[in-house]
Amino acid sequence: MSALRRKFGDDYQVVTTSSSGSGLQPQGPGQGPQQLVPKKKRQRFVDKNGRCNVQHGNLGSETSRYLSDLFTTLVDLKWRWNLFIFILTYTVAWLFMASMWWVIAYTRGDLNKAHVGNYTPCVANVYNFPSAFLFFIETEATIGYGYRYITDKCPEGIILFLFQSILGSIVDAFLIGCMFIKMSQPKKRAETLMFSEHAVISMRDGKLTLMFRVGNLRNSHMVSAQIRCKLLKG
C-alpha cells in the first residue's frame, strides 16, 4: 500500500473487491485483491488564486440590481463579453447615425439631385447609404477627407451633427473608460503568487498559530500588500 501511495500520490485510494453486495471497500490488512480508484476531490471554499467559490442565490430582482450599476457590471464581465459589447455598441451606433444622415438626404431629395450642377444638397457627395455611412465615419473619427461636407442650407443636418458629437463623446467615454479600468485591474497578479500546499499549526510567541508560506515569483516588490484568510471550523 505504501508503495502504491508513493507511485500515485494521495489523489487515489486503495480498495479491495468484496464478494458481498457492498462492492468496493477500503483496503485493510489481509484482505483480497486490490484496486486503485481516484478519490473524490472536495471542492475548495477558496481557490489558490483567492477566488471565493460561493455563489449567491434566491436574492430576488438580481438582474435589476446588476443593471442599476451598469458600469461596474461591464467591468466585472469576462473579456469576451466586454469585446462583444464594445464592438456591438459601436456598430449599432454607427449604423443608426448613418441611417439618420441617409434619411435627411432622402427626405430632401438629395439622392436624386446630387449630380445637378446648381443644386446645393445637405451633405455634398452623398448619393446612397454607403456614402452616408462613409461621411459619418469621416466625421466621427475626425478624418475629414474634404470630399463630403455639410452645407449651410441644411439646419437639420447641423442639429444632427451636434447630436452626433454629443452621443459619440458619451459612448467613447463610457466604453473606453470601461476597457481602461478593466485592463488596469491586477486580477492576473495572483497567478505569480505561490502558496504552500499545506498549512501547519505550531507554537509562535507562546501561542498556537496557523501558518503557511506565500512566495512571489516576480522580482518586483508588492507595496502595501494585504492577505485575507478564511477559517472554516467543522
**Which domains, from first to last, does the chain contain?**
66-187 (1.10.287.70)
On whether the CB atoms of residues 37 and 15 are closer than 8 A, the answer is yes
d(CA 233, CA 202): 18
Torsional class of 29: left (φ above 0), alpha (ψ -120 to 50), beta (otherwise): beta
Distance CA 131, CA 148 (A): 9
Assigned C-alpha cell, 211: 501558518
Digitized pLDDT (tens) for each residue of the chain, 234 residues in all: 555 455 545 555 555 555 554 555 555 555 555 555 566 666 777 776 666 777 666 666 667 777 777 888 888 888 898 899 999 999 999 999 999 999 998 888 888 876 777 888 888 888 889 999 999 988 888 787 778 888 888 889 889 999 999 999 999 998 888 888 888 876 667 777 888 888 899 998 889 988 888 888 888 777 787 777 777 776
